[in-house]
Chain A
């Protein structure tokens, strides 16, 4: 009996193919939108997570000032660090693989007629290690160069491209502001970060050179610390906090005037943000599903009125109220499920294309498909019920007299 009802509804849908297609359009668009949004959103979340992981998840950052909520929300009330602070961390804290003191400045870089404004970062070879940079050509700093603050530099690929085009920069002398500086190496390219900044747009020089000859002070604005594998970053964080409180003479009970941030936290903050965004987009798309449901109800009501005589005949011949109700309900559900299936196919296709365009990974999630299908069928039940009940409750005599 139930399979008969499904066959019957399929036939009825085919009979009004044009109208049926238009009816389910709302559902198709709704489901496709939800699937596209959610799939792309998951891709973006994964992208952000993997970008941050590339920075190194066992990475900690120590900055002066108190921590504020959210990434980058620092408040610089504390004094800057000195190179000695980094040395103390490296010597006294157990389980670290590298400690890089960093100071930086935006400056004009010049070679020949080319001229490019970039960030000059002063640090040590440890910076390459903590940030996962590889030398593409040339070499890293020598110990003597670091100690003496010699005018040597390693270029990010963007700076190399801007100043040298296709030429080999190794051994060339560029100018950073008023200083002449010998190029000793070029880094590999990391491309854009997921926040849209160009990670390759900087020049690395010895910390001492930056401090003495560019900044004119001995400040270190942040210290990057990478823990050895298997060492708890929480423990390292606590150790650093303790050490720095000592070195900065903070009395017990007083707040830190610096903060240590674990990159792992950053990962969860950032992916949390994209996840919320994905949810919001999905919710907006879900509204169009609701509109699609109302479209189905509308057409089912028209259909019930149009088929009043048919309903009368069925009731007169011995159909129960629930037989007729089922017939129309099944029709609504079959319609909306069709819409759901088409929407799923469209949504996945759109997400696959969108993933390529937006350069995020395409994450295929069978769960969302099941949910979308169940949801579209449910839309059919909810919005088909009212018209179907109307059909079932008709009076057979009245219905047969209906012209």
Chain B
């Protein structure tokens, strides 16, 4: 494997971070979670983000997911400067182009798996009938057929994680951002989920950025970005991929 800092110049650039920093708090207590990130993710890529705990992976994912804005630097999504958008405009970007799997599952607790998965479609204004069909399909894709009516409290951690994945992919987003999507799954389940994600990437052309601690999982990605202390330490492209 060769270590490279090259950017994916061959592909249409979908997301770009230029000198992005994120500072939490002020003065001497300020926490510099990101310290100048430069990153380009092309259309149709499958990127894994790795790094030790606290290195800023989730912070970076939140910015990529338009949930948060950089303290300085530029975040471009399809050439649009996200930092200059209003709250509602960012919400619309999330609604129509992004799917997010959170590090905690962040499901609605007293709501069934099916309704959790339908939720993003409700905000897209999808009619009820179609919503149901697509939600059932998404649940099937993550292997949860038969668990539709269960609430998160009645599901195992792994099942909850899969509901969260189903919710992120049900809209067929342009970009899927997943913060440790297999963090709570055994290795067999993890591989199954990764196959699903890989298939989404190759068949539907969904761009994926995924945080993981597990090197076995990272191999499904075509590029691995390593974080250390709020900076990108190294980027590594898998041989044999273009």
Contact = CB atoms under 8 A, between A and B. Distances in A.
B92 A316 contact: no
A313 B62 contact: no
Interface stretch (B47-55, B93-101, B199-207, B227-235): B93-101
A4 B127 CA distance: 11
B91 interface: yes
Nearest to A398: B68
Contacts of B94: 316-318
Q: Which of B65, B91, B100, B108 has the most CB of A within 10 A?
A: B91
Interface in A282-330: 309-310, 312-323
B102 interface: yes
Contacts of B91: 315, 318-321
A315 B68 CA distance: 12
B125 interface: yes
Q: Which of A1, A315, A317 has the most CB of B within 10 A?
A: A317
Interface in B64-90: 65, 67-68, 87-88
B106 interface: yes
Given A316-B94, A317-B94, A319-B91, A397 B68 contact: yes
Contacts of A318: 91-92, 94-96, 98, 120, 123-124
A8 B27 CA distance: 44
Interface in B93-136: 94-96, 98, 100, 102, 104, 106-110, 119-120, 122-125
Given A1-B125, A15-B110, A400-B106, A314 B119 contact: yes
Contacts of B122: 1, 4
Interface residues of A, number: 20
Contacts of A319: 91, 95, 123
Contacts of A321: 87-88, 91
Q: Which of B96, B120, B167 has the most CB of A within 10 A?
A: B120
A396 B88 contact: no
A317 B110 CA distance: 17
Contacts of B96: 318
A320 B91 CA distance: 6
B106 A312 contact: yes
B225 to A, nearest CB: 21
A1 B127 CA distance: 9
A312 B105 CA distance: 12
A348 B106 CA distance: 47
A15 B151 CA distance: 14
Given A318-B91, A318-B96, A318-B120, A313 B67 contact: no
B125 A397 contact: no
A310 to B, nearest CB: 6
Nearest to A313: B106
B102 A320 contact: no
Given A15-B110, A312-B106, A317 B100 contact: yes
Contacts of B98: 318
B126 to A, nearest CB: 10
A274 B62 CA distance: 67
A320 B85 CA distance: 13
Contact of B123 (A15, A317, A400): A317
A124 to B, nearest CB: 84
B123 A323 contact: yes
A357 B92 CA distance: 62
A15 B110 CA distance: 9
A314 to B, nearest CB: 7
A303 to B, nearest CB: 13
B108 A310 contact: yes
Given A318-B94, A318-B95, A313 B88 contact: no
A262 to B, nearest CB: 68
Contacts of B104: 400
Interface in A384-402: 396-397, 400
Q: Which of B94, B120, B122, B124 has the most CB of A within 10 A?
A: B122
Given A318-B96, A319-B91, A397 B67 contact: yes
A316 B67 CA distance: 7
B67 to A, nearest CB: 5
Contacts of A309: 106
Contact of B92 (A4, A314, A320, A400): A320
Q: Which of A15, A312, A316, A397 has the most CB of B within 10 A?
A: A316
Interface of A: 1, 4, 15, 309-310, 312-323, 396-397, 400
Interface of B: 62, 65, 67-68, 87-88, 91-92, 94-96, 98, 100, 102, 104, 106-110, 119-120, 122-125, 167
Report, nearest first, the 7 A-B pairs whose CB atoms are least far apart: A318-B95, A318-B94, A318-B123, A317-B120, A320-B88, A320-B91, A313-B106
12 contacts: A1-B125, A15-B110, A312-B106, A314-B119, A316-B67, A317-B94, A318-B95, A319-B123, A320-B92, A322-B88, A397-B68, A400-B102
Given A15-B110, A313-B106, A321-B87, 20 more contacts: A314-B123, A316-B67, A316-B102, A317-B100, A317-B120, A317-B123, A317-B167, A318-B92, A318-B94, A318-B95, A318-B120, A319-B91, A319-B123, A321-B88, A321-B91, A323-B123, A397-B62, A397-B67, A397-B68, A400-B106
